[in-house]
Each structure stands twice: as C-alpha cells, then as structure tokens.
Structure 1
C-alpha cells in the first residue's frame, strides 16, 4: 500500500533510537524495519504526523518513506482527520494502546537514581556497594534508588546473592535502607547452561526450544544462555518465586535487562507460539507488577506502567552520545513511553567509558549530560561524579539537582497528565505549538505545557539558538515577547535555558 504524504507533513515514531532521524518529511528517504525490532531500545508499530494522521499495526512491519510516498504492507492502518500531532497521538493511543493503571514508585522520578554499573561493572559486591552508597550521601547527594547491576547473583537463572560477594544479603540490604535508599537488582530472562537452574527449567519445559525440540542457546553480549519462555505461565511462576524470595529479604524492585527481539528467533517452539517481538512484549508486561522497575528495550509496550530508559550512549558529543538524548527522549514520549530516563549521566556504554576514563574524561561533556537530564522525568548517575569531576564541575551537578527541585511542581504536573491522559511528559515543540513551524525542532523540549527547556549540548558553547513560540515568556527574570522567532540566549554558566510561558493578562 502506498500512502501519499500531505504538503508539509512530517512523521514521527517507530524506533526510539531513531530519534535523530526524526521527523521524516516529504523530501526524505528512510526505511525502517519493525519486524522484529532491530534496535536495543523501545519500539512501537506507530507513526504519527504533524497533519493529524497516524499509521498503526498490532505487530511489527516494514515502512519506507520514499520522498513523499509511504510504502507499507496492505494490512497496516492509516487513519486521519485528527488535526495535529497531538490529536493524532491521542487518537492512536486511545484506540490501540490505552494507558494501564500506573503504579510506578515516585522514587524513580523524584530523587536521583544511582546505578553501580560504571563503578563496579561485573564485580558487584557488598563491601564496594556500601562504600558507593556511603559516598553518595557524604558528597551531598540525596539518597534515592540504588540500582545494583549485573554481577550480584550466583549465575543467570539462579537469582540469589552470590555467597562469596554478599555474606549476609539481608543485613546488607538493611544497611542500605538505613541510609535512605531503595534497592533494585539487575535481572534478565536468560539462564546459564549446565547449571542446576538450567536443568530444572529444561525438565519443566520452561525454555524456548529450537524447531528440533532442543533448548535454544542464545548468543548475547555476555556469552551463551538458555532463554525463558514468557509465553508459558509456568515459566512466569518459576521466575516469580525467585524474585519474591528476594523481596522477602528486602529487595524493593528490579532492573529488567535484555528481552531484545533480536535474541529470539522465528520458528522456535514456544508455549504460546509467539513471535520474537511478542516475547519482548511479554517480558515488558511482566515488570508492571513491580512499582520499582526499569526497562531498556521493549516492543509495543506504550502505555505500560514501566520506567524506560534510553539505551547505553557513548561518552561523546555526537549522535551516539549526548546529541541523541533529547531527540530520543522526545520519541519515547510520542510513542507512549512517558516515564523515561536519558541513560546514565556521562554515558552508559561501559567499554567506551572505561577507555576514555584512562585518558581523561571530558568533564564538560559529563556536566552537559546532567544539564540535559536534570529537567527530564528522571536522572540517573553511574560513574561517581565526585570521583570523575573536579570540585568546580561537581558543584555544577549539584546546581542541576537544585534546579530539578525548583521545578518539582512542573514535573509533578507533567507526570499527572501522563498518568491521567497518556500525554508525554516531554513534548515536541510541534506537539504543544502546532502550525508555528517547529516540526523539525528536536533539540529542545516542552516539560508539560508551559516550560520550555533548551540545554546546551555542543562542546565549548555558552549560548545557543532557541525556537520560541508566540507569546510572553519569562527567562531568568526577564520577559521575552516572541512572535515565533529564533533567538540566541545565554543562560547562567553550566545551566540549561529554561523559559516559562506567561498567561496573557488580557484573558
């Protein structure tokens, strides 16, 4: 089927990691494959347009934007008549992915999250984690969620604390709780082969099998593992029992990693006879029962009660680093994932991070990442700021967190809107101000309906261009009356540009 683009029509959607390639206009040529989701981040079989149309299918599909023509399979739906980008999104959301009841813990959004990955990588252990937690508090940071990453368990599939690294897990968790932290643990749907857990899951029929009926052994970034079949209720119950045992000793929630569609295969034997994308969706659906959850990759999980972060970014200035944070986060919102986190401050791609750390990290880059994240739904640190930054740069991080507190009511309002109506917490300029020529503005965002945020994301810059919609805006105590122009603004050193839309006194 060929869909003709309308004049000056722009499309957004699909894979969150394509944020820097959005929107797609009449002059663009772009092919996207959603069957299966080839990316390490969220994907939705949804595209919405600035002219009030949307494209949807319940499953993944290929789409080709070909210079004014949109080529899709015949069974894809294209609906129109909704006026604006906002109208198209709300119509698609209400019809195809209405929001589930949201039971997310506010600890994920109200306080900084500290993840142990960059500091400890695979060497998670009680002694060093307690040191990390103590250092957070001693360096003036508010205790929030302590997210313990891969390396804490005996092996994949046996989700109990490694006895050599954690002599008394319950006592350890109590100590962390006493400091004011909630505790989350990294888990995945994989099982290390040739272990007791593997043999148990195999014998109970809980694993995905090849077409020949043998347990499927998947090659993933940490090696080779068998894979739980989340279309099987017995596999879900088996996993449940392990996580419940962890909760009984004080664990508050879980970081659900992996579940990427690319690690499943068509033609494999599953209880529910499901596709790779559906396995990914079932893994995402599972996590909604926990108020403290985190996902990096999902398929068709828009509207779920999930905390979803961007995939690991490089410690760099380009589109593989912080230049992608705003576009990707905006795409999360317009595809139904409003409760988002822009990766770990400084970059979460640990091999890239460690290599650069040996030769000296870019402290300006680290601080600009924090600047971008500070007025987003969540902010997450991994590399300890007090270890990798000078005292002056560390003070900038604290200023960002103070600004975050200053805008607590605006963040609260945007959260309530997402919960009640499914609207994005972070919004494209075109979403909030349709028809003013902001279709391609993707390096600034609206926090809710009245707060415009334009961080600086280029090295060495102290100012930047800002696209300002029509109206009266307050910027650092000064009023700007805009007719819809672009202005160069200079914020306080190290801080984002923030403008507040003022009410018209005549109305």
Structure 2
C-alpha cells in the first residue's frame, strides 16, 4: 500500500512515525529485545510519540526473524502459520565501541547500529556481503485518517487506521520473485502485490494462491509471517526498497539466507513445512467432464472408449461440478437423474483401471439437504448475531463450512469418506477464496480478516488428511486451487481459470513458475485453457506444455477437451506427449523426491538452476523440467520459438542436445530461434547429466526396475547417483545406481543395476 507522494511528501490524511533510535535493548539467551523510538534531541522527544518494540530471533540456522510491535495490548485470536523452531545456533555479540550489535545465525548475520539516532539493520551473508536491511526511515507506524473509523467529531480521541510499515533495501540490479501464483512478469520489480486470495482468473493482479514470501537474486528470501492482508510495493513506491505494510499493530518477517536460490527454498520449506509427495498414478493424464458441459454416463463412456480406441493412455477421470444437482453444491451426492446407478458406474470405471476424482467446494447451498444439518449443528461460519452467514454469489443462499469447528471437520470428513467408499481417489478442492471478513465469527474466535487467506489451509488439510487416512502417507492427492503458506504440504495445485489463448498459456506458465518459487513443487494448468474453445494449434501446443508439467489435466469450461473434436492430428500429438511423460516417470519420481527433501520444484525458473548465468534471470517463457531437461513451449500458431540456452558451470561437460535429435547440439550462453511442427518443441538435455527413463512403462505406477535406460549427455564431473524410486511408495528408493566416468571422460561405468546406457556428446 502506498502512503507517500514521492520522497518528501505523504499522501493526504497519512502520517508516519519513523523509528530512528534504539532507546534500550535486552539480550536474553537467543533473543534480542529492542525499544525503538523517533529521533532523540532531548528528553522531551520521549513524549507524545510512539515507540516500536523489536524482537530478533532465529527459528532455524540461516534464518533471522524480526518482529515489530507498536501496541502490544491487542487481542490476538489467530490464526497463525506454523513455524518450525530449533534452538542452539544463534550467537549474539555487542561491540561497545561502535555500539553495533551482531546477531549471527549460521551463515546469516544481522548487524544493528544502536548508537544514538543511528538506527539501521543490515543483513549480511557469510562473505560479509550486504543482502538487505533497514536504512534511513524504513521502520514506521502509519496513521491513516482515510478510513471509516476516523471521525473528526471525536477530537483528540479520533481513531485512525494503523499500519505497520517495514521497508527492506533493494540493491542495484537485484531481482525479486515469488509471492505466490502471480501471472504478470516473473520478476516482481516495479509491481504492487497484495497478499489476498481472490477468484480473479489468471489475467489480472488478483490471484488464488498468495504467499507472502519472496526470493531475491542476491541470495536471500523474505517471509512475512502474517495471515491477513499484506501489501508489498516492490520498488513501486521507493525504487530502492520493498515496502511491506500490514493493517494493525505488529508485523513479523524472516530473512532466509541461501548460498544458492535452491538453498533459500530448502530453508524456507524447512521453516514452513516440507512439500508432500504424491502417488505415482497422479502423473498420468487426467481427463475431466469440463465445467458446464452436458454429460451423463453415456457421454463419459464414449470419451473413455475413444481414448482406448486411439491408444491414448489415460489414468484419471474427473467429474466436475455437475456430478451433483444444481443449487445443491455441495451435498456430495451424485445426481441420480444423470447417474441413476452411481455406485455401479464408478465400479465400471474402476474396472477400466481408472482412478477417479470429484469436484468439491467448502460451500453448502441452501437447497442442499446438508444445509439444515449444518445450520442446526453450528457447522457454518456465523454472523455476529449467531445466524448463518449466507449469500447468493455462486450458490443460492450458500453457507461456508467453519473448519475451525472440530465437529464440522468430522462431519465434512464423513461425507468425503462416503465418497471414498464408493471408489473416489482424489478431490478437486475448488474455491476457498470467497471467504467473508465483515460481521462474521468463527467457532474458535479467529480474527475473520486473518482467516480470509488462512481458510484455504484448513479446507485443504481436512480433505488431504481424509485421503491420507485412507490410503497412507504421501498417497493422497488433491487438485487444489487456493492455498496459503504451508499449503505445499497438501498437493497438488493447479493454476485456475485461464482463457483459451496463447497469451493465457504464457501467463499460466508465469503463474506456475512464480508459485514454485514460493515453496511449492507440483503444479498443473487447464490444458487448452478453461474459458473458451481453443483452436487446434493452441490445443496441440498446450498439450505439449501440459504434458511437461508435473501434473497434466485436460479441462475446460463450456466445451470438452477430448482431442479428436479438434482433429485427429490432435490425438496424435496427445499420444506422443503422454507416452513421453510416462517413459520419463523414473526421472519425474526421482526429481519429486529431491523436491520433497529440498523444497526444489519439479518445474523451475532457469535462474533457480543456473544462478551464475545472469541472462537467466529475465527468462519467463521457458523452464527446467527437473535438473536435466530444459523446455521452451511454443506460444504462437506459426511454431516459431526463441529460447535461451544457459551456460553450465563445468565448461568441459559438453553441449546441450535436442531430445528429439541427439546429433543436434546447442552451445550454452546463446539464444536460438527455431520453427517447430506439432511433433516437436525445444526440449534440451543438459550436459554433464544422467537422465533415467523407461520406454517399457505403460503407466507411471508400473514396476520400476525392469527396462531402465540411462541417458548420459556429455562428460560427468564425477560419480553420479541415480535413485530408482518405488512407484508404489514414492518416498522410498528401491535402488541407487552409481555412474562413474572413466579417466578420459569419454565413457562411464554403471554399478548397481543392469541398464541400457546411451552416452551422448
């Protein structure tokens, strides 16, 4: 939120009390408490002005937190994000000569100048390089008269809206990324970002997945530990700063250090929760009924028969909203008019070898039989007069399930369990963004404004835990639209309602890469676009891109996404792309397991993999699929694509090669422009790598050990370990294969498993 007019003036009705001095401090074990105040010229300056209490802590090595509090007397009803805590790693020293306090946490340090009127904070790396900090006039308390609570008739007692303001320095050439799923330019410099979940599609500043965490090209990240609305001016108010403001009396942030961007993500996900794994079958192709299309058992069966006849591998079928009666979302019952024998039909689908998914949301329409039950038992969010909060925007008279009520969670879970008893394997947890904040109350007394974003965590957790209780740890999977920090523990997330255009395809990729720079390792988009009907060229290009995403789903709004309705050549493209993803299953499972351990996503912005190549920091139309494969989707009908090939650190590793033609090589550090038909796109294999695959697989969940192939490109820098992950339990490694280069670097030996070996370059 902007409060200023340029460097010198404030906006009308705004005043800011800037902190300029450390009045006193106290060091206790691994905590530093500071009392900050304004510029001090004489003792009279201690009167009629606010102070801000600052607390410095370190929940984990390499992470330093700063909590700033104006008034400490506020009632805190929560909710709060979970922060994983450790102790015993912080070191605090004070130089009494310079009056500088040093707070060190492993490779990260914070220096605070406590000399009179010389307040500043400087975060530094282990190499003593400045990362960020608070310089002149960067910690303040804002009073704003432009609010409903302000009334001049109240005189000196007139209430102003208060904001905590923390401004963190941005260096020359520094780039800022992340902040959840954002669809504009990947680098957030120059943007205003409000962390506030909304159902806004994929073509505006609104987003379904807002994460108050950003990652900097300088080797650090910042997590703002606040579940309510957080506003960031990323060089859009002060060109030398990221201005962070929250309404209320306190703000807390954590600076997360990393030698590389991957290290930052590792520490951030260790702080907020390691990403969960998903079952191998989820990497199959998903097909949906689409949203508002007319369908019944005959329609669905016809689609499935069409896939079988065309040899199109399909693993999951999803029933979207109208599996339930209109106006009754969500009663969690199959519409008996459309599906008179739902249980029998689901069994028939399961007999085809399909996994099944159904759409749900956390709302209950007034026409639903569950409405009276929920109203009677207090399972819904209430108004302050104890009536049920309702509106007509989406479902007529709908209520919102109150997941802060344990009884409501049990009730909702019981209906999910009933669906699982029928054969449902996954839930598409849609919505959870339209959560009221005014005139409402929760069962546990949570602050409604702080619950607006946080609600998505509760909703997804209930559905995810219900699945995991049935199938076991890391075997449950959602298809979720909204989330908040920590939501990486309840995968998978998809990109929401995009249009059927090349531009929307590109913005979807930016949104996915942005989310996956925010602690998430899995992501999908609606292949073909959600709104509208894609022309055949777009459909085929989105199929290529979507089958090189972690998860792949054909989904639309008012039109079906089965390929042959766009032309039989679309079926050919889909078949090739699905089979390519299946043969890459061992590689995908290995990369996902690494992501679970280290917080590194399956789809990666180039700079995440090549931080020393400065040319990668501006690229947002291509990505790494795991560590070894670079993908450049085609975003035009003509098939022309311009892409950058990164420089690898080991110059002796060799050249990148085309996935489709191993004789076609690419030099790192160069741009290329090519034109591709629909049978290819730029997929490049990184030099100095070993990629595991298996052409014998018919589905991702097939046994993993028989038929393994190892694609070695270029010279290996040393022994390389390839983990064969168990498709039946994706957190377990069946076997580790060691690939050792010969002394001349031109050949390798393989130990641990018989495998077909291809040595390129």
Shorter-chain TM-score above 0.5: yes
Shift in Å, 1:347: 0.9
Select which of 300, 304, 311 maps to 2:496: 311
CA distance in 1, matches of 2:344, 2:362: 27
Q: How does 1:119-130 map to 2 (within 5 A)?
A: 121=292, 123-130=294-301
| 2:318 is the counterpart of 1:153 | no
| 2:432 is the counterpart of 1:265 | no
Aligned to 1:356: none
Change (3 A) 1:469 1:41: farther
> Per-residue displacement from partner, 1:359-404 (whole Å, max 9, x unpaired)?
xx41101111111112111111133434422222331222222322
> Residues 404 and 443 of structure 2 are in contact (CA less than 8 Å); yes or no, is this contact kept in structure 1?
yes
**Larger of the two Rg values belongs to structure:** 2
**Higher relative CO (CA 8 A, sep ≥ 6), structure 1 or 2?**
1
> Residues 184 and 292 of structure 1 are in contact (CA less than 8 Å); yes or no, is this contact kept in structure 2?
no
| 2:421 is the counterpart of 1:421 | no
SS in 2 for 1:162: coil
Shift in Å, 1:174: 1.0
Shift in Å, 1:62: 0.9
Select which of 208, 213, 216 maps to 1:41: 208
Aligned to 1:134: 305
Aligned to 1:357: none
Q: How does 1:199-210 map to 2 (within 5 A)?
A: 199-210=372-383
SS in 2 for 1:254: strand
Q: How does 1:88-487 map to 2 (within 5 A)?
A: 88-95=264-271, 97-99=272-274, 101-102=276-277, 104-109=278-283, 111-117=284-290, 121=292, 123-154=294-325, 155-260=328-433, 262-274=434-446, 275-289=451-465, 290=467, 291-318=476-503, 321-343=504-526, 345-349=527-531, 352-353=532-533, 361-382=534-555, 383-437=560-614, 438-470=616-648, 472-475=655-658, 476-478=661-663, 480=665, 482-487=667-672
Shift in Å, 1:216: 0.7
Higher strand share: 2
Aligned to 1:358: none
CA distance in 1, matches of 2:518, 2:171: 21
SS in 1 for 2:715: coil
> Residues 365 and 396 of structure 2 are in contact (CA less than 8 Å); yes or no, is this contact kept in structure 1?
no
Q: 267-276 or 399-408, which moves further after superposition?
A: 399-408
Q: TM-score, normalization: structure 1? A: 0.90
SS in 1 for 2:640: coil
CA distance in 2, matches of 1:493, 1:242: 44
User: Between Structure 1 and Structure 2, how many residues are aligned?
Assistant: 485
CA distance in 2, matches of 1:219, 1:387: 38
Q: Which runs of 5+ in 1 are unaligned?
A: 354-360
> Per-residue displacement from partner, 1:2-39 (whole Å, max 9, x unpaired)?
111022211111130x23322123xx2x1111145574
Q: TM-score, normalization: structure 2? A: 0.61
Q: How does 1:61-76 map to 2 (within 5 A)?
A: 61-65=230-234, 66=236, 67-73=239-245, 75-76=251-252
Change (3 A) 1:430 1:205: same
Higher helix share: 1
CA distance in 1, matches of 2:362, 2:319: 17
Q: Which runs of 4+ in 1 moved over 3 A?
A: 35-40, 218-224, 384-387, 489-494
SS in 2 for 1:310: coil
Shift in Å, 1:492: 5.5
Select which of 179, 204, 209 maps to 1:14: 179
Q: Which runs of 5+ in 2 are unaligned?
A: 1-165, 200-205, 468-475, 689-713, 718-761
Pairwise CA RMSD: 2.2
CA distance in 2, matches of 1:369, 1:107: 21
